[in-house]
Structure 1
């Protein structure tokens, strides 16, 4: 056998090609109990083959147990280029000359070390997974049961407190309505008794005067003037009946801050909460000082006056920077949200369709007449405006969006903050005509949010 001298072969470190070699489909090394027959042993296994077989049975794999078919030399080298076992002559003068080769024993040692490392890592990973299952997940299951139980108790406690408060408020309001009903009934009975007696007295006086007129002789009639005057004075003293608020149920008897807050929250956040997706700016009403987006949902203030005024339209505001929404609202419950985060000066609210559109007077100015109700933000201050009266609204923070809720049946208009459902201002007003959403802006833009 020719000895392999240093410098004749390229022998990379086993670790350099270990990872790429492990991807090979064929075995990195092979073990065989038999091999090419040597001359002199008719079918008898060689000592190396017998040793390999013994090692295979014991679980210890041996190298150098096969012979090269071409050179009849022991396959104790490994060709990394062709990924096969070779002998020393294959590497020096054979088909693998110039390839990356290295001793098989070193390769086997590197692979075994790598497998030991991999097995240790797998074992550690398995231990971590086992610990995660036995400790972390088990603890999470226990915590889940405790947390779910606390959450249920919290829900029941809060709903119970709300239900108890609502039941108490319900009882108080029903008693208040009942007392108010009894008061009005007593007033009605008193008025009925008084005016029934007055009616009887008037009827008796009239009958007496008619009898005097028709049956008293002229001479006696002249002498009865004083008696007639007394009867007339008595009838005039009865007075005229007058309808007063005391004869009607006071609507304030059913008003409750708690009930209104709960009702508002239910309407705004409950399962049936809904907005008005069809609400948009009516282009016919938009002031020349404003521009409206293509989707009719954003209103922008124009810092420069447009060169050409739009064509005349009786519905258009020609002086104040106003615009109205459509459609009109005359029944049911309606809510919509306006994004005002970019504007420092705006108004949002409602108005009658008959609101004046022309001129610089207060009749066309939102919040300065009896036909509009708006929340206004100017100079950093918030206020509610109606009929020229201003109610300051001391808000803790500047809302980025403002919501409006109109409940026609209960004659209620609410301005609220959508993020917290906090009521900013409430209006109790018996509206007498259909309402339109009303807007004004003199800084940047506002947008109807759908």
Structure 2
């Protein structure tokens, strides 16, 4: 049986941990409308860029905002434009597209990272939280050479997968499913079940190395 594991040792940044975060008052923030990039040529496929307005000061975007790199020192938070969309405590960035219906698929190339998270989160998720630690986000993560699925601050080990250089993420909004995809087979490695009730954004956490996103892709055949 998959056991829920504490995330305290894995969700960290600049000395922050879950015990210190739990003492803070958490609330959803009121955010302005977000841009949504949908390509008419790809039908139901979401096309997005990473949204710099949400990016923590330790994260730099590159390659026309489709990639993100972690900087250990990062920028002084006081030098980053202040806005309610930005993550101040955790190394998290959102994609700028919204998902409120349908099935959508994208892929992520992992470069030299040993700790990251990939998934979706409600667009209005509190910027005081880390993705995977609340009821508003669902992610697959990699840390200490192991994969896990995570939501509500509970981890479930994901087996039968190593550390591929590129993985797929498939979300089915109506069915309430978030799936981690082995793009080589292709096959679904693990599925997170949820009840999506609000618009979602692609969500990423990164504590070293780089991630490069590939959106607007067709869903591989045979996954339904």
TM-score range, shorter chain: 0.7 to 0.9
Partner residue, 1:438: 203
- Taking structure 2 as the reference length, what is the TM-score of the superposition? 0.72
Aligned ranges for residues 15-414 of structure 1 at < 5 Å?
275-276=45-46, 278-307=47-76, 309-358=79-128, 364-414=129-179
- Equivalent pairs counted in the alignment come to 173
User: Residues 325 and 436 of structure 1 are in contact (CA less than 8 Å); yes or no, is this contact kept in structure 2?
Assistant: yes
- Taking structure 1 as the reference length, what is the TM-score of the superposition? 0.37
Secondary structure of 1:354's counterpart equals coil
| Partner Cα separation in structure 2 for residue 440 and residue 411 of structure 1 | 21
* Between structures 1 and 2, the one with greater helix share: 1
* Between structures 1 and 2, the one with greater strand share: 2
Tell me how far 1:399 sits from its aligned partner. 1.5
| Partner Cα separation in structure 2 for residue 396 and residue 352 of structure 1 | 27
**Stretches of structure 2 lacking an aligned partner (at least 5 in a row):** 1-41, 216-224
Partner residue, 2:5: none
Per-residue CA deviation, residues 130-171 of structure 1 (Å, 9 max, x unaligned), is xxxxxxxxxxxxxxxxxxxxxxxxxxxxxxxxxxxxxxxxxx
Tell me how far 1:274 sits from its aligned partner. 7.6
**Stretches of structure 1 lacking an aligned partner (at least 5 in a row):** 1-271, 359-363
Tell me how far 1:294 sits from its aligned partner. 4.6
Tell me how far 1:275 sits from its aligned partner. 4.7
Secondary structure of 1:295's counterpart equals coil
Secondary structure of 2:167's counterpart equals strand
Secondary structure of 1:284's counterpart equals helix
Structure whose CA Rg is larger: 1
| Partner Cα separation in structure 1 for residue 111 and residue 53 of structure 2 | 25
Higher relative contact order (CA 8 A, sep 6+): 2
Partner residue, 1:234: none
Per-residue CA deviation, residues 186-212 of structure 1 (Å, 9 max, x unaligned), is xxxxxxxxxxxxxxxxxxxxxxxxxxx
